[in-house]
Each structure stands twice: as structure tokens, then as C-alpha cells.
Amino acid sequence: MCTILYSQEFYNLCAEYGIEPTERNPNKDYVSSDDNDEYELLSYKEEIYGTIYTPPSNFVPENFTLIENGEEVDIDKMCSELISENSSLIGIDLSNPKVKEIHDILKESDINNGYQIFLRKNATFMSWINNNSTLSTAIHETNHAIDGKIEYCNPNDIAKYFSLGHIYITDLKYDDTKHYSIVEETIPEKLKIGSRYELYIEGTKKASANRFNVLLDELNAYTGDAWFQVNFRRSGLPKESKYYTTSQFQIDGVIDFMIYLEYYLKSARLNYPDTYNKIISQPNTIKYIQYIWIKAEEVIEASYIYITDNKYSKYIFFKNNLLELSARDKLKEIYLDDAISELDLIEIEHTNYNHWQKRYFNYDFSH
């Protein structure tokens, strides 16, 4: 069985690989928060976050044609819109009540993240909403769409990521590394569980394009999705919005892909030296890994008060009988030596096991 946690993406993957899906009730209100609670984000220096991408003068090779929906795409125009630090509302129909409502929610609650995604690929974003997906899912999936399109904005075929309102460039070429299913070669058996492992590690082995750059793309999308959830809670907007309340507050996708990143590095180091040496010799790739790891840790930190103030969210994170390990259990696994040492080897700054003791690890679920 394939358990759908909150993303339409899981349903699509289940269907693609013939796995029977099951879903939680999408109509319940799982949203609750206490805006008076205080939280503390991790403190790191901005300069290690990565390199913001500056587009080259020629976006794509000469005579290259991109066809989308049967029509040729003006690539220069597309790239200018995607890369711009000041994206506009041009082409977005705010006379449509649904579009206007989504626009207003995102502008007020998540202006530097979800709103920027909404502006850059509005048709894709609204297609997810019109398909009865939540804002959380639309942000996640449209972020993937943007990352896929900015591939064409560089003639060197270098992986780039739209992350929290900025574009970051790596040194990764799309065919540079091994498939990310190599995670299975070193990840502990107890972590080979759950729908994400089934679908992303086991289920996509036939997708030859799913290399290290795609693993980073997933971590980026889950992190941005989680930041939307946090920022929506902080905004104080009404929690009865039909576009929001069908999404349970969950950050376990972030945690899973942090684990997969660690064990990809371990498998590459032990078994695929060409892949490993390419990664560790690429300064912009290392900077991006540093950046997205920090953002992932920060959103886990910021999520604590919103996970622990709601019965259902607490159950999913701290107990979750559907899996052998809860999200809390897996968060512990990230900071065990077997995994976190892989980040130390490439000099990625991170917090440690003790940092999470006070809140997540010592939290009494019975309350």
C-alpha cells in the first residue's frame, strides 16, 4: 500500500508505478496554532548560503527550440520572467475570484516564498489549485516546475534551484552523478520504510534522470512547502481557508530527504568515487548543500510550536502507527554519527543531536 501523506505528487507516483494508494481524510481541519508561542531559529551567517544565479547574456544555445503545449516557447522571455528578482503580475488574471483569493493569501502570508512561485508560474500553480490540491502541494509542485524550466536558462546545462525567492546555481551537470536510488546501498534497514522510500528510492529506479540534482530538487521543494506552512501560521490569517485547511501540518518530507542526502553522500563516497569526487570538488554545489541544509534545519525548528499544538499533527510526527518509525525517530537518525559524519566530511555546518533534546526528543506525546 502507498499511504498519501499530503502531496498530490504521491498519488501520481503511486499510479505511475501501480501501487494502490490510500488517503487520509482530506476534509478535516488539521490546522491549529498559538501565535503567542515563541520560537528560535538557528543562527548562521548569510554568506554561506550559496551563490545567487546571474543569468548569462545568452540564455540557451543557438537554434534551440522548446515546445510546450504544442507551441514554441520564447525562451528569452521565459527566462527573464523566471530569473527576475522583481517578478510582476503581468499575465495574471486577478479578475478571477479564485486567483485573486490565492494571490491575497500568499502575498500576506508568504511573500518571499510561495508568492514568488505563484507569480512566476501562475498557470501551473492554478492548475494544481483547480485540481483540488492545497496551497502546500501547489507550492511544492510549482517549485519543481520552475526548477525544470530554469534548466533551459543556462547553455551549460547546470542544475539551478529556485529557493525561497532566489535562484541558486550549482556546478552540477544533469548527467554528472549516479541515480539517487544508490541511497539504498548504505541506509539502515530500519529506514527503508514509508511511502517516500517506496516511491523515491525504490519506485523511481527506472527514471534515469533522477540523479543527485533531482534529490536536491526534492529537498528544496519540501523545504519551501514547509516554510509556507510555518509562514501561514505566523500570518494569523483565518485557518478556515478552503485552500489551506486540507493540508495537515507536516515536515516529515524535509526530514526524509535530509536522511536521503546523507546516505547518498555515503553511498557515493564508498561505492562511486567518480560521483563523490565531482560533488565535493564543486564549490557552488557545496554552497547550495550548505544553504538548503540550514533552511531545512531552520524550518524544523520553527515548526515545533505548530506541530505540538494540534492533536493530529502531534500524532503524525511523534507516533504514527502506520510506520515503524515516527518523524521524531527519523529526526534522531539524521544526527547519529553514521549519517551526520557525511556532512562533516564535506565541511557542512549543522546543528547536533543535543540541540533537539529540549523540544522534539524530550516531548511528552501523552499530553
- Which residue did the predictor score with more confidence, 172 or 6? 172
- Is residue 182's pLDDT more than 80? yes
Residue 242 predicted with pLDDT over 80: no
Q: Please, is 173 exposed, middle or buried when counting C-beta atoms within 10 Å of its C-beta (0-12, 13-18, 19+)?
A: middle
The predicted model gives 136-141 an average pLDDT of 94
> Is 336 part of a structural domain of the chain?
yes
Q: Which of 246, 231, 287 is nearest to 7 (CA)?
A: 246
* b/e per residue 253-274 (b: at least 16 CB within 10 A): bbbbbbbbbbbbbbbbbeebee
Q: Which residue did the predictor score with more confidence, 290 or 75? A: 290
- Joined together, the cell numbers standing for residue 335 give 544526527
Number of domains comprising the chain: 1
Mean pLDDT of 301-330: 83
pLDDT at residue 15, as a whole number: 42
Mapped onto helix, strand or coil, the DSSP state of residue 121 is coil
Domain that holds residue 202: 2-361
Query: In the 8-state DSSP scheme, what is residue 183?
Result: G
Mean pLDDT calculated for residue range 323-328: 82
CA pair distance 238, 255, nearest whole angstrom: 28
Alpha carbons 160 and 288: distance in angstroms, whole number: 9
Q: Is residue 367 part of a domain?
A: no
Lowest mean pLDDT, pick from 13-22, 61-70, 190-199, 285-294:
13-22
Is residue 203 very low, low, confident or very high in pLDDT (cuts 50, 70, 90)?
confident
pLDDT confidence of residue 293: 98
Distance CA 219, CA 210 (A): 13
Lowest mean pLDDT, pick from 81-85, 209-213, 250-254: 81-85
Inter-axis angle of helices 212-235 and 135-150, nearest 10: 140
Q: How far is CA 119 from the centre of its chain?
A: 18
Measured CA to CA, the distance from residue 355 to residue 42 in angstroms comes to 10
| 22 in any annotated domain | yes
| pTM for the predicted model, two decimal places | 0.81
Average pLDDT, the chain: 79
Alpha-carbon distance of 19 to 247, in angstroms, equals: 22
Higher-pLDDT residue of 306, 30:
306
- Bigger pLDDT: 9 vs 295: 295
For 335-362, the DSSP string reads TSHHHHHHHHHTT-----GGGGIIIIIT
Q: At CA 39, angle to CA 36 and CA 45, rounded to 5?
A: 145
User: For residues 5 and 22, is the Cβ–Cβ distance under 8 A?
Assistant: no
Give residue-wise pLDDT tens across range 85-134: 666 777 788 999 999 999 999 999 999 999 999 999 999 999 999 998 88
| Residue 4: pLDDT over 70 | no
Strand-pairing partners, residue 71, are: 68
Q: What pLDDT does 141 receive?
A: 95
Alpha helices (runs of H) in the chain, residue ranges in sequence order: 8-16, 75-83, 97-109, 114-120, 122-130, 135-150, 194-196, 212-235, 252-271, 273-280, 283-307, 311-314, 327-334, 337-345
Contact status, residue 168 vs residue 161, Cβ threshold 8 Å:
yes
Measured CA to CA, the distance from residue 82 to residue 146 in angstroms comes to 7
Looking at residue 263, its amino acid is Y
pLDDT digits 0-9 by tens, 20-76? 433 333 332 222 223 333 323 333 223 333 333 333 333 444 445 666 667 777 777
Q: Which residue has the higher pLDDT, 278 or 70?
A: 278
Residue 340 lies in a domain: yes
- Is residue 21 in some structural domain? yes
Bin 90: left if φ > 0, else alpha if -120 < ψ < 50, else beta.
Answer: beta
Q: What percent of the chain clears pLDDT 70, i.e. is strictly above it?
A: 74
- From the list 42, 49, 45, 47, the residue with the least C-alpha distance to 290 is 49
Given a cut of 50, whether residue 225 has pLDDT beyond it is: yes
271's CB contacts (< 8 A; 6+ apart) are 182, 185
